[in-house]
Amino acid sequence: MSRSVIDLDELMARVENDRDLMRDLMLIFKEEFPRHEEALREAVASQDASGVVGAAHTLKGMLSNMAAAEAAAAAACLEQLGRDGEITKLGEPLAQFEKIAEELTRQIDLCLAEVSA
Amino acid sequence: MKMLIADDELTSRRLLQRTLERAGYEVTAVENGRFAADELCKLDGPRLALLDWVMPELDGPGVCREVRKQKERSYVYMVLLTSREKKEDVVAGLGSGADDYLTKPFDPEELKARLRTGMRILDLEDRLIEAREQMRYQATHDPLTSLWNRGVIMEMLERELARSEREGKCTAILLGDLDHFKSINDTYGHLAGDEVLKEAARRLLSSVRSYDFVGRYGGEEILVALNNCDPAYAFLRAEDIRKTLAARPVDTLAGPIPITMSIGLLLSQQWGRQPIKNLLNEVDAALYAAKHAGRNCVKIASPKVGDPPARELTAEAVRRAR
């Protein structure tokens, strides 16, 4: 069984037990996240430090709201590397971020199916 | 209470909006700093704002700086939302004019508590403004009649006379005095006298235009400035005012009391540049002449040497002027 990358108790507290709002946030996340993740990939590929900072910052905020602490920390790490201009050291952290993000997306899909049921 | 949320990230915006709407706020949500500054700089815009630090077009501190430049509108309480926690960031955020900051991801209870603090500050500001306005009103108005008080009406008249002279226009000065007012006080009592004064003030106000000035000059004397007044119609307007005053008795607790007013009238254009004191002496003399001529009439202050000091506006004169 895979470890949980989203803290549902924390998310429920954040939405004050409003299941409709939680579902809304998950749907928004599913729609918005791939776009920002793609922007991050492109910025890393083109070694655009400010692009990395901007995309990683947005992802960090979004992931924090979703109570996905591990993924938010990985985005924060990318943001900091971008700020420090360590543009050549982003490959490994990006791969790590993508791995967590993939698992997060899977778990959010499961949650959505559960909430919708 | 209206409030504004500015955040370019959609999950944050939705989460904040729903949380705050549930707490009873009327929320406007925008996605960049430019829109936020435009909303907050409107005179009737929201007075409470949650601003993300990093936003396109204009960042949160930039919004704060723009709003603080706007001096005409009421105070806006602004909270910055930030994931930056370094001391220098906090100092920079507060230095830009923000009142508070909140670290993302926010806790809903903490968020609402911080906004309640903002509401207390805004409420305090409202009460201070109300108190200042009350004091300003008391300092400029006569407490009984609510007309401008003597000091203010004199200042207004002086300004208006200067403007008339600059622009080649005419200000008509009317000095009215309630006839037999002492006798009203003696016969019906001072409370009834007060009621008469209040009603006379109300009738005077209703008979002039919104940009004319009416003030209590003395006990039962009232000064009226008819601004930008066509001299050809000044006599008629003074007559209309006199008739409005005397149209029907004033209903008081002591019973109905008939009232009339004697009026002195002066047209600034006929007198050229004169100290206000001289003009007031002249219009006072015209008022005296109206009293002397039997009261309840209008007399005009005439500047020409050799002319009769004041001319009674008889029914025939009114007819001719029409």
pTM (2 d.p.): 0.72
Indicate if the pLDDT at residue B29 is higher than 80: yes
Q: Which positions 43-72 of A are in contact with B (Cβ < 8 Å)?
A: 54, 57-58, 60-62, 64-67
CA dist list (Å): B279 to B157, B177, B269, B299? 11, 17, 11, 14
Indicate if the pLDDT at residue B318 is higher than 50: no
CA separation for the pair B16, B9 (Å, rounded): 11
Indicate if the pLDDT at residue B275 is higher than 80: yes
Q: How do residues B57-73 score in pLDDT, each as one tens digit?
A: 899 999 999 999 988 88
Question: What's the pLDDT at B303?
Answer: 80
Indicate if the pLDDT at residue B119 is higher than 50: yes
Question: What's the pLDDT at B313?
Answer: 42
Question: What's the pLDDT at A115?
Answer: 77
Question: What's the pLDDT at B88?
Answer: 79
Indicate if the pLDDT at residue B321 is higher than 50: no
Q: How do residues B160-195 score in pLDDT, each as one tens digit?
A: 999 999 999 999 999 999 999 999 999 999 999 999
Residue of B5, B15, B106 to mutate for A, most A C-beta atoms under 10 A: B15
Residues of B with CB under 8 A from a CB of A: 8-12, 14-15, 18-19, 22, 52, 54, 83, 104-105, 107-108
Residue of B5, B10, B11, B50 to mutate for A, most A C-beta atoms under 10 A: B11
Cβ-in-10-Å burial (0-12, 13-18, 19+) of B315 comes to: exposed
Predicted ipTM? 0.89
By Cβ distance, the residue of A21, A58, A64 closest to B18 is A21
Q: Among this protein's residues, is B199 annotated catalytic?
A: no
Indicate if the pLDDT at residue A4 is higher than 80: yes
CA separation for the pair B21, A37 (Å, rounded): 30
Task: Calculate mean pLDDT across residues B110-132.
Answer: 95
CA separation for the pair B219, B197 (Å, rounded): 9
Indicate if the pLDDT at residue B208 is higher than 90: yes
Indicate if the pLDDT at residue A101 is higher than 70: yes
Asked whether the beta carbons of residue B10 and residue A32 sit closer than 8 angstroms, the reply is yes
The DSSP letter of residue A6 is: S
Question: What's the pLDDT at B84?
Answer: 64
The length of chain B in residues reads: 322
- Chain A residues with CB under 8 Å of B21 CB are none
Please identify which of the residues B39, B220, B239, B282 carries the catalytic annotation: B220
Task: Calculate mean pLDDT across residues A70-84.
Answer: 94
By Cβ distance, the residue of B8, B15, B108 closest to A25 is B15
